[in-house]
Structure 1
Amino acid sequence: MTMNDRRSTPGPIPNISGRDEPRYGSRERKEELAKGFLGEGAGYDEVRPGYPNGVLDAMLAAVGTAAYPRVVDLGAGTGKLALALAGRGCHVTALDTSESMLEVARSKALAGQVAQRFETRVAPAEATGLETQSADIVTAAQAWHWFETGAVSAEVRRILAPGGVLALVWNTLDVSVPWVHRYSRIAHAGDVQREGFLPDVGEGLELVTRHVEHWEDERSTWDFVRLATTRSYYLTASAKTRAKVLDNLDWYLHEHLGHAPGSRIAMPYRTDLFLYRPA
């Protein structure tokens, strides 16, 4: 049965969460969830959103004296942020532990004619293997909470050049909108950060700027069903649990909210950017 043929019988829908950030229960559970992304690539790239121009502008303004900033993107995935910065003239090194994700990024770099400013490296964020002071901007988009905070913070301080910045970015569903909050719970999305959220960073990094943008991503309803399949919860779940998540989203978008299957809708997002400098 294809997703478009699905006739849903919704299972229990989770209540609204009071969490401010992802919680994993244990280090082992965190590692299990992270491994769920290792074999993902094209599907992730097709339905995950990009980043608004205002966020890119704020990053580049922080190192305005660098004509062609050197960017190291940690946990780069399929290159959503890294390729956008390469398109702005930056020289980007994208790091990830998933070869399949980086393969998608390399293909997109070739298609977008930015390959001459874009390279990839399979490496963990905590041990990049890059030269000391080799980056003007270190970025982590949707990824910082997966790293070991102390080790990655020390590595960032090592590879940042004088005057450089660490840019931590999160696209999150705008759960201040009631229907989106309900969607996020059904999809078991981790996108539930609240207004007072601050990333956990190690010693020696000082927050200098916080920038927030509200925007919308327009896609088909089936794309927003598929979006759940890129979440760590879904990727590590049983077949029964996966089917229940998709059934519940089908029911919620098409029956409860009344959208025609396949019609285009706008999903409200917020993007939070945190800029740090070595203290």
Structure 2
Amino acid sequence: MWHGEYRDPRLVEVFDAERVWGWEDDFFMRVLADRMAPRVLDLGCGTGRLAIAMAEAGHEVTAVDPAGAALDAARRKPGSARVQWIEGSFEDLPSQSFDAALMTGHVVQHLSDPEWSGALRALRDALVTDGRLIFDGPDPAARPWEGWDRAATERPIVLADGSVVLAWTEGAAPAGDVVPVVHHYRFPDGLELTSTSALRFRDEAELRGSLRAAGFRVDQVYGGWGREPPGLGHDGELIVIAIAEPRLIP
């Protein structure tokens, strides 16, 4: 899948203009502050909004993303010098180096099943015992793809120079637990760019099982940014806090 919002500099600019600080960022900052976590990993950091905020709050932040264009945008932001930026993926994580790891912005739905299993194993290795893994994903029970058409999703996005990009999303019928998606972006000069994704939806039971298999204990699962239980409220999220279990010695 292309995921142009992270790889094409023109779409990275659009992505960054639309994703401003929101209640989800406040949520992650509050959860991070619940326990001492000097060393923090932001895996799939994108253009770095949350990574920079965590560093400004006093954490030692390592931000990892495979998309060089997104990291270029992150490095241009004020405060970016406080963050260690790494162009890479979960295969590049150092062992036993972090007190907390975050995957935000629904990163988990962009990972195939083998990638998800590999990422969880790598994250367990990267965290100290009792370190926390914190991530969010869409709850498939909310069936968000049913609202993915142009009529429901078309919106203007204002760029830094004042120009306006028209954007909309179109989703296809799910193929099992995977939903194909096309994001459209029409620029003022008439240029239209698209970005394709295949989004993997995992329910709470599947998330719990995969975390347990990778050496984590689930501490909390929320269904919204107000810490509502899954299925309650209107956010349609599965927000998970898991704890790295002690390693088994052969």
TM-score w.r.t. structure 1 length? 0.54
CA distance, structure 1, for counterparts of residue 100 and residue 170 of structure 2: 33
Q: Provide closer, same or farther for how the CA distance between residues 81 and 193 of structure 1 changes in structure 2, counting only shifts above 3 A.
A: farther
Q: Which has the larger radius of gyration?
A: 1
Question: Are the equivalent residues in 1 in contact too, given 2:220–2:242 (CA < 8 A)?
Answer: yes
Q: What per-residue deviation string (whole Å, max 9, x for no partner) do you get for residues 205-259 of structure 1? A: 22111234358xxxxxxxxxxxxxxxxxxxxxxxxxxxxxxxxxxxxxxxxxxxx
Structure 2 counterpart SS, 1:76: coil
Q: Does the Cα contact within 8 Å between 2:219 and 2:241 map onto a contact in 1?
A: yes
CA contact (8 A) 1:38 1:97 kept: no
Q: Deviations over 1:92-111 (max 9, x none)?
A: 11111111101111112xx2
- The aligned counterpart of 1:43 is 14
Which of these residues, 33, 36, 39, is aligned with residue 60 of structure 1? 33
Q: 1:34, CA displacement in angstroms?
A: 4.3
Instruction: Give the distance between the partners of 1:152 and 1:74, measured in 2 at CA.
Output: 10
TM-superposed CA distance for 1:90, in Å, is 1.5
1:145 aligns with 2:109: yes
Query: Is 1:214–1:269's contact at 8 Å kept on the other side of the alignment?
Result: yes
Task: Indicate the residue corresponding to 1:119 in structure 2.
Answer: 84
Matches of 1:43 and 1:186 in 2, distance apart? 14
Q: Which residue of 1 aligns with 2:71?
A: 102
The residue identity in structure 1 corresponding to 2:99 is D
2:135 is aligned, of 168, 190, 197, to: 168
Query: Would the aligned equivalents of 1:73 and 1:82 in 2 still touch at CA under 8 Å?
Result: yes
User: Matched residues in 2 for 1:166 and 1:94: separation?
Assistant: 14
- 1:158 match: secondary structure: helix
State the alpha-carbon separation in 1 of the partners of residues 238 and 131 from structure 2.
19
Distance of 1:80 and 1:197 partners within structure 2: 30
SS of the residue corresponding to residue 123 of structure 2 reads helix
What code does the residue aligned with 2:84 have?
E
Equivalent position SS for 2:69 = helix
Give 1:59 deviation, angstroms: 3.0
Mapped pair 1:77 → 2:40: no
Aligned twin of 1:206: 217
Q: Tell me the CA shift for residue 136 of structure 1.
A: 0.9
What secondary structure is seen at the aligned counterpart in 2 of 1:41?
A: helix
State, as a whole percentage, how many aligned pairs show the same letter. Answer: 20
Q: Within 2, Cα distance between the matches of 1:55 and 1:197?
A: 22
More strand by share: 2
Q: Report the Cα offset of residue 77 of structure 1.
A: 0.8
Kindly state the Cα deviation for residue 273 of structure 1 after the two structures are TM-superposed.
Answer: 2.2
CA–CA separation in structure 1 for the residues paired with 2:215 and 2:80: 34
One-letter code aligned to 2:123: V
Match of 2:96 among 133, 136, 139: 133
Note the C-alpha offset of 1:37: 3.4
Equivalenced residue count is 186
**Any idea what SS the aligned residue of 1:153 has?**
helix
Q: Is the 8 A contact 2:132 2:241 kept in 1?
A: yes
AA matched with 2:14: G
TM-score (norm 2): 0.60
